[in-house]
Amino acid sequence: MPEHRLKSLTPLGHDKPKTTTHGPITITEIVDVALASLAIRRDQAKAFTMAATAIGIPLPEPGHYKANSTYRAFWLGPEQWMVEAPFASHEDIVAVLRPAFGATASITEQTDAWVRFDVVGSDLPTMFERLCAFDLRRHGSGSSTRTMIEHLGCYIVIHSDEKFSVIGPRSSAHSIDHALLTAAKSAF
């Protein structure tokens, strides 16, 4: 087998993830996460929940995010979740999840479809109220939702008052990066 020495590129097209700081805000591109969407197949809810518990995948309530030691998950829609796992150990995440769930779930690899930015800083709602219609002051840590940022459907995960994740379409990584930085500059 030929030996390839190819360098992977980050969603923003560099060899290393980009970090931008403006005032109290730091925006970091995150690349060490594997993603897969999990959906319950019809009439399999009970077996699905048991399988998820056995492998240690949290199944948060609508509009929420939950983490345990290996897996983190956020709610996508009724009976549907996005699962995050460390990229180093779960590069082929479907191959890891499929034996656990068998025919109870539909699993789709999502790793390279998304770009994730972690936004860290104080008074984040002041920045995010310029970006989206989601009312961040009503929702505390552990909340998660899909909403519109600029014209893009993005997921927002609230880890704490000072740390949010924005997960958006990877092909629009530069647009999201620009929107975040513009909002940070406008707010601070």
User: Given candidates 48, 65, 75, 128, which one binds other proteins under the rule CB under 8 A?
Assistant: 75
Least Cβ distance, residue 76 to other proteins (angstroms): 7
Q: For tokens 């609230």, what's the residue? A: 158
Are the CB atoms for 87 and 111 separated by under 8 Å? yes
Q: Is 137 in the site for other proteins (CB under 8 A)?
A: no
Q: Is 133 in the site for other proteins (CB under 8 A)?
A: yes
Least Cβ distance, residue 145 to other proteins (angstroms): 7
| Separation CA 97–CA 93 (nearest Å) | 6
| Separation CA 113–CA 118 (nearest Å) | 17
| Separation CA 45–CA 165 (nearest Å) | 29
Q: Which residues contact 11 (CB under 8 A, 6 or more apart)?
A: 29, 31, 115, 170, 173
Contact map string, positions 50 to 69, toward other proteins, x by CB under 8 A:
------------xx------
Least Cβ distance, residue 81 to other proteins (angstroms): 11
Contact map string, positions 85 to 124, toward other proteins, x by CB under 8 A:
----------------------------------------
Q: How many CA atoms lie within 13 A of 42 on its CB side?
A: 0
Least Cβ distance, residue 133 to other proteins (angstroms): 4
The radius of gyration of the chain from alpha carbons, rounded to an integer in Å, stands at: 17
Q: Output 82 or 93, the one with its CB closest to other proteins.
A: 82
Least Cβ distance, residue 42 to other proteins (angstroms): 7
Structural tokens at position 53: 């518990």
Residues that bind other proteins (CB under 8 A): 42, 62-63, 75-78, 133-135, 138, 145-148, 153
